[in-house]
Every structure is written in C-alpha cells, then in structure tokens.
Structure 1
Amino acid sequence: MPYQTLRTLLLLLLMGLPAAAMAHVGLGDLSGGFRTGFLHPVSGLDHVIAMVAVGIWGAQLGRPAIWMLPVTFPLVMTVGGVMGVLGLSLPGVEVGIALSALVLGAMIAFALRPPLWLAGVIVALFAICHGYAHGAELPESANPLTFAVGFVLATGLLHACGIALGVLYQWRAGRYALRFGGTAIALGGVYFLNLAIAG
C-alpha cells in the first residue's frame, strides 16, 4: 500500500512537469494562467491544510474513500471555480474554507467513519467554497482554462501528500500521529474561522 501511494504521488508529479516546463516567460497567458493557478492553492495555509486533510481522511477511511474523496474534491471544486469566475454570489466562502479545516481535522482526530455518501457530501460542500475562492481571485491577465488546470493539479498533489501521510493509519503509532495531526488541522481551522468572522 505505501509503495502504491508513493508511486501514484510520483506519477502525478511527473505528469505536472511538462506543463511546468512550459511555464516560462514568453508564453503569455498560458504561462501566467498555469503557474498562477498551480501556486494559488499552495500559497494559503488554509487551503493547504484542508487539501491535505481530504487525503488523510480518505486514507483513514480506506477503500473506496481513499480515492473517492480526493477525486470528488477537485471535480466539484471546478464547479465552484466556474461560479467564482462568473461572479455568482456565494456568501460565507471564507467561513466555509475555515470550517473545512475544522471539520476535516475533527474527522481525522476522532477517527469518525460516516457512511461513504455523507463523507462525499461533506467534501463536496467544502470543495465548492475552495473552488469559488480560486475562481473569484483569477487574475484578469490569466487564461481561465490553464489557471484551472494549475489549481486542480496542485490540489491533486496536496491530496496525494495527505494520502501518503494517511497510510500511517495502518500502524498503531501512526494512528496516534494522525489523530494528533487532525487535532492540529482542526485548531488551524478554528484560527482561520476567527479570522474569517473578524474580517
């Protein structure tokens, strides 16, 4: 299992190299769109911890959640991204992003195992918020398609990192480590929730 996860992570990374190699000065909107989109999810800690948490929780739940949750998130996130690009109203996005870290961290910390459909709904709801934030912050000079490809790829890599960490759940010491990590993610969510409410 750990070898399959690492192999998948490496494959995803290698798949991103051709596009990253093209992202240099001279490609105009293609360059700015992909590079900006790829860096966007990893530039905010609130996004990073939520994306990693999705992968950890999926691995903690086992099959089929280990692949279903990390696939559901970016697919639904693109819907939220389109909503953001179109300027549709979605109140409470920052609160939703903060709650994603809080709730997902709590799920990991308490090793909660809801039905698969409910786990998918939870992840999908948070994916809308994260996608909307990415789409709403799309720079005017960026190509929306290459921007979307960039942020979906970065999100997938963060999920893969979470899955790699989540494999620790197979061992007793790893379960304790993940529960501690889930608590830290949830506390990060509390911090970002306070910022969202105060702002």
Structure 2
Amino acid sequence: MQFYSRRLPLLVGALTIPTLAHAHPGHESMDGLLSGLGHPLFGLDHLLAMLAVGLWGAQLGGRARWLLPLLFVGVMLAGGALAMVGVSVPAVEPGIIASVVVLGLFLLWARQVPLLVSGALVSTFALFHGVAHGTEMPLQASAMTYALGFVVATAGLHLVGLLAGGWLQRQSWSLVPRVMGALIGLVGLGLAVAG
C-alpha cells in the first residue's frame, strides 16, 4: 500500500501535465497544423483526387509530372484563402466529387491530354478542394498553420501518386494505373450517389 501511496501523486501529476501544457497559449498553431494535415488525408474524396493528380502527372509524363501537382497546390491554396476571408464559391461538394470521377476516368483513359487542358482541369478541381479546406478550418486554428498543414498533406499525396505512377511505368505495369483510375472513378460515383 505504501508503494501506491507514494506513487499516486506522481501518477496524478503525470496525467495532468499534458492538460496544463495545452492550456498555455501557442498550441493553437499545432492544432491548426494537425487539422490542416488531417483534412486531405482523412477525407476519402480529397485523398483519392490528390493521389489521382500525382498518378495522372506520372502517366502524362514530361512537364505534366511537376506542373499538375504545382498547379493543384497553388490554386488550392488560393481557394483556401478565398474561403477563409468569406468568399463563397458555389457547388464545392459536387466539384470535389466530379474531380474524383473525372481524374479517375482520365487515368483509365490513359491518353495524352494537352498540358493546357490538363492544367486547366486540375486547377478548376483544386479551387473546389481549397475552398472546402478553407471553409472547414477550425475557429481556433491559425490560418497560416492550417494552410501549411493542408498544403503539406496535399503535396505529399501528389508525391506518392507520382512516385507510384513512375515506379509502375518502370515495371511496365501500365495497366495498374488504369485499373486504379477505374476504381477511383467508381468510388467517386459512389460518393455522388451517396451524397
């Protein structure tokens, strides 16, 4: 019993330290960063669209490999900023679901698309994703750290898609991205029906 009575204050103290530390100012930025990171990673529609951008960039090759992800991140950031200052954009959710379906179909189609067309398409979809991110920013979050979070998560998903698509091409498994595109498109259609 004496063993427990000496250790109880230590246990109580150890359990309360995280609460006390979180009560101090400055942790809102960490909450914003984590919220920003989580939004693209835990939203199936965002996750699939962002992976698809990377896969599609790898499939198109050339300048599309780096231009499509850069356009997406840049326009998404602008869309997030618009939403954070209160600008309303219509049809955000249908636009996000359309991005999943259309990007999946373009992966399935596996045809060369002019860079101007693919860039315009990716930019349009990125605007919808950015507005959704900006709209869903937690009230207590810092806009800068929240935006940093969703930019890092998005760029990471694009990179995963690019690396996976490039690896699949080097293995001469060009059918796999097409199958992945079909699955992404089907999930998008399921989201539209469930929507």
Q: Smaller-chain TM-score range?
A: 0.7 to 0.9
Q: Deviations over 1:54-73 (max 9, x none)?
A: 00000000011001001110
Unaligned runs of 5+ in 1: 1-23
Unaligned runs of 5+ in 2: 1-20
Q: Percent identity?
A: 41
What is the 5 A alignment of 1:1-199? 25=22, 27-167=26-166, 168-172=168-172, 174-196=173-195
- SS at the partner of 1:178? helix
- SS at the partner of 1:101? helix
Q: What code does the residue aligned with 1:65 have?
A: A
Aligned counterparts of 1:72 and 1:162: Cα–Cα separation in 2: 15
Aligned counterparts of 1:128 and 1:195: Cα–Cα separation in 2: 23
1:16 equivalent in structure 2: none
Q: What code does the residue aligned with 1:39 have?
A: G
State the superposition RMSD in angstroms.
1.3
Aligned counterparts of 1:194 and 1:87: Cα–Cα separation in 2: 29
Task: Compute the displacement of 1:112 (Å).
Answer: 2.3
Q: Deviations over 1:42-82 (max 9, x none)?
A: 01111000000000000000011001001110100011101
Aligned counterparts of 1:85 and 1:92: Cα–Cα separation in 2: 17
Runs ≥4 residues deviating over 3 A: 24-27
2:17 equivalent in structure 1: none
Task: Compute the displacement of 1:106 (Å).
Answer: 0.5
TM-score under structure 1 length normalisation:
0.83
Q: Deviations over 1:96-119 (max 9, x none)?
A: 000101000111111022110110
Task: Compute the displacement of 1:83 (Å).
Answer: 1.6
Aligned counterparts of 2:171 and 2:31: Cα–Cα separation in 1: 43
Task: Compute the displacement of 1:131 (Å).
Answer: 0.3
TM-score under structure 2 length normalisation:
0.85
Moved more, 28-37 or 72-81: 28-37
Aligned counterparts of 1:89 and 1:148: Cα–Cα separation in 2: 18
- SS at the partner of 2:174? helix
Aligned counterparts of 1:37 and 1:155: Cα–Cα separation in 2: 10
Aligned counterparts of 1:194 and 1:92: Cα–Cα separation in 2: 16
Moved more, 48-57 or 159-168: 159-168
Q: What code does the residue aligned with 1:149 have?
A: L
Aligned counterparts of 1:117 and 1:182: Cα–Cα separation in 2: 21
Task: Compute the displacement of 1:169 (Å).
Answer: 2.4
Aligned counterparts of 2:193 and 2:130: Cα–Cα separation in 1: 21
